[in-house]
Amino acid sequence: MVRHDGAAWCASGTRPGRTVAWGAGLILITTQRGPRPADLADVRATNLAVVLRFVRANAPCSRADIAASTGLNKATVSSLVAELIDRRLIRETGLTENRIGRPATMLVLDGAPYAAIGLEVGLDELTVVAVDLAGTELLAWRRAFDGSAASPGRAVSAIAALASRAVKRVSGQGRQVLGLTVAVPGLVDAAGTVRLATTLGWRDLPLGADLRRALREPSFDVVVENDANLAALAEYRQGPYAGTAHLVHLTGGAGLGAGVIVDGRLLRGGRGFAGELGHVSLDPTGPVCPCGRRGCLEALAGIPALIRRALPDTAEDGPITDFAPEVDRIRARARRGDPAVLAALAETGRHLGHGVALLANLVNPEVVLLGGYFSVLAPWLLPAAEAELVARALAPEAGGTRLLASTFGTGAAAAGGAARTLEAVDAGRLPRHEPDPGRAGRGAVGGDASRKAPHRATGRPGPEPESGTPGEDVDALPSALAASPPGTATDNR
Q: Which residues bind Zn ion (CB under 5 A)?
A: 279, 289, 291, 293, 296
Q: Which is nearer to Zn ion, 21 or 280 (CB)?
A: 280
Q: Are 453 and 462 in contact (CB under 8 A)?
A: yes
Strands (E), 33-172: 61-62, 90-97, 104-109, 114-121, 125-131, 137-144
Residue 289 Cβ vs Zn ion, minimum distance, rounded to whole Å: 3
What 8-state DSSP symbol labels residue 432? P
Q: Which is nearer to Zn ion, 302 or 431 (CB)?
A: 302
Q: Is the peptide bond before 290 cis (omega within 30 degrees of 0)?
A: no
Q: Which is nearer to Zn ion, 296 or 483 (CB)?
A: 296
Q: Which is nearer to Zn ion, 27 or 289 (CB)?
A: 289
Residue 319 Cβ vs Zn ion, minimum distance, rounded to whole Å: 16
* Collapsed DSSP state (helix, strand, coil) of residue 189: coil
Residue 196 Cβ vs Zn ion, minimum distance, rounded to whole Å: 11
Q: Are 266 and 233 in contact (CB under 8 A)?
A: yes
Residue 357's alpha-carbon distances to 94, 151, 271, 394, 402, in angstroms, are 53, 37, 25, 8, 11
DSSP, residue by residue, 194-257: EEEETTTTEEEE-HHHHHHHHTTS-SSEEEEEEHHHHHHHHHHHBSTTTT-SSEEEE--SSS--
Residue 132 Cβ vs Zn ion, minimum distance, rounded to whole Å: 39
Instruction: Give one word for 239, left, alpha or beta, with left for phi > 0 and alpha for psi -120 to 50.
Output: left
Residue 280 Cβ vs Zn ion, minimum distance, rounded to whole Å: 8
Residue 257 Cβ vs Zn ion, minimum distance, rounded to whole Å: 11
Q: Which is nearer to Zn ion, 48 or 277 (CB)?
A: 277
Q: Which is nearer to Zn ion, 297 or 480 (CB)?
A: 297
Residue 405 Cβ vs Zn ion, minimum distance, rounded to whole Å: 24
The H-or-E segment that residue 383 falls in is helix 372-392
Q: Which is nearer to Zn ion, 296 or 393 (CB)?
A: 296
